[in-house]
Structure 1
């Protein structure tokens, strides 16, 4: 039996700017209903969506965030899962929008997390390999799975000669590396703020986009507030066949494209949690050449397991090279999150924060 209380990284009341700092608190361990599973998170990621919630850019309700990582089974609830075994959780249930782990249900930034029976029955708790030398790389599993899913959709439609990745954060860098491993020699233009990227405001960017050999694929991996501008810029300046994965979220409503106004958020939501199969893509006629547009919300269990196996087998390399920048415990996570929220940019310990892995300590006695 698990202890009656555990530690969690809890969101505090929002400040005047809508930001929610966090603190390590002792909280009651949830009681289980029949078929529920209780997990002890081992390593958990901090993702771009988490930062949006913390900054008040999203209204997700849970007081404990975290939807990426691995955990040990503490109480299997008669499900057939083995006590002490290592698992990951697919945070998106394609058939039940009420299940969004770490968004509207308490997530993995804790020593204990309950997964409800309906999610367990849907196969969202997935056994993964044990004994990895660097279990913290599992914090990259969900974004890598998302990249692999997006690449799979793209290659089912066209084989590109060049790739634009707009956004040089976690997803953008994982996407660039994953695409170049799959298509050696692929010409790639990374747009962002790193030393190896072209700045979005660079006056030469339109010419660089126009000069890419076609067909061109693009992955839009910006913060939510930059998605529309990135999409419209790429669509305006890349001639010929253009395939765009709108990986980043964006508000609902029409986006002005040369094919006419398009509700890109609705198109993006057409693929959810790995369904349907085959995935939906949307071909639009535009003056400069066809535009093939798609996106997705969440991944399938198969994509998530593919990513976990790849990361754990290779110790995160090359998938995590340069992306996993900080590894902290719960107290260190509170310090990092709060210092970033108080600062003007996403930096801690003198370097840019990309992926942070939190070692919760929850699996130590699992």
Structure 2
């Protein structure tokens, strides 16, 4: 290693199945243009979108992934940031689709990450308090911020009597926990493969959905390939008013919902980074009751700070306490990622991989 190089998790060329495994590779540390900032990631999450990219389900070109984490500032340039200060990065620029950290720009799975001047000027480098470098906080802040954004839109629209969460991965479990904290006594139904969830193919699921008291809120936190089916089942079986937060991604194009063809992916992207407010929520009539549909792209600074504050709170049970399952270093992350990609199960080191936080560096 030299002053001009650093280590990163770098994707290999796709294999015959389209998967891109990873290696720890020495790469050149980028030179900074005026207004750029150079960060040293400390703890970085592996999220569902990362797994989709690694499996070849998305064509995002960045060879270094990672868009959720905490870092310290190495070179602030003329950004107004302070050397050594602790920050997180909002990975989505609401006005510049060319900035998608870890998607089309090198991400945080590295010892050094350059943040371009436009993103710094837009306030996407967000100072955070001490303690936010804890792997649980670093890895869960961005997905929790997304959940809180959706919760804020939902409660602006109506107050539900019941909640159905479809998908028992990271976002689904954080959503159930955040909604139950916000609305004590809320009746909830978790749909997924875990022991505490109802299997999506359970013969009794349609009746359980029909029995939920109206109005029903639903959070779709499925894998990208399961979003359409989940929305169709909810539309078919939930009676009364149904408010759906489409957290999950889905392919573009129309799909049959509420008796008509709707481009749900386009509606999902109508809210971005907290704008507009009041938010866009689309209403449709259906035979069994009204359908209210919304989603969002990206989060705002205040969503991230609220998420970090919740994760740092020490009173009661820490939020997301059961979600983080693995904390590998950069070298061990290679084994975890490549094992999950190569084998059919999601176990590593004797435990199911739910959420991993890669420990990359230490704060000076």
Counterpart position of 1:312: 312
1:155 is displaced (CA, Å) by: 0.5
Counterpart position of 1:183: 183
Counterpart position of 1:8: 8
Q: Distance in 2 between matches of 1:316 and 1:100?
A: 35
Counterpart position of 2:55: 55
Counterpart position of 2:270: 270
Task: Structure 2: give runs of 5+ residues left out of the alignment.
Answer: none
CA-to-partner distance for each residue in 1:89-120, whole Å, 9 max, x for gaps? 00000100000000000000000000000000
Q: Provide the secondary structure at the position in 2 that maps to 1:231.
A: helix
Residue 330 (structure 1) aligned with residue 334 (structure 2): no
Does the 8 Å CA contact 1:132/1:315 hold for their aligned counterparts?
Answer: no
Counterpart position of 2:204: 204
Does the 8 Å CA contact 1:168/1:193 hold for their aligned counterparts?
Answer: yes
Moved more, 135-144 or 46-55: 135-144
Counterpart position of 2:110: 110
Q: Distance in 2 between matches of 1:277 and 1:334?
A: 42
Moved more, 258-267 or 142-151: 258-267
Does the 8 Å CA contact 2:258/2:291 hold for their aligned counterparts?
Answer: no
What pairs up with 1:1-366 in 2 under 5 angstroms? Answer: 3-131=3-131, 134-314=134-314, 317-361=317-361, 363-365=362-364
Q: Distance in 1 between matches of 2:353 and 2:317?
A: 18
Q: Distance in 2 between matches of 1:131 and 1:240?
A: 44
1:364 is displaced (CA, Å) by: 4.3
Q: TM-score, normalized by length of structure 1?
A: 0.97
Task: Structure 1: give runs of 5+ residues left out of the alignment.
Answer: none
Does the 8 Å CA contact 1:259/1:284 hold for their aligned counterparts?
Answer: no
Query: What do you get for the CA RMSD once the two structures are aligned?
Result: 1.4
Q: Distance in 2 between matches of 1:156 and 1:263?
A: 23
Q: Distance in 1 between matches of 2:141 and 2:347?
A: 22
Q: Provide the secondary structure at the position in 2 that maps to 1:240.
A: coil
Does the 8 Å CA contact 1:11/1:22 hold for their aligned counterparts?
Answer: yes
Q: Distance in 2 between matches of 1:101 and 1:132?
A: 19
Q: TM-score, normalized by length of structure 2?
A: 0.97
Q: How many residues align?
A: 363
Does the 8 Å CA contact 1:164/1:219 hold for their aligned counterparts?
Answer: yes
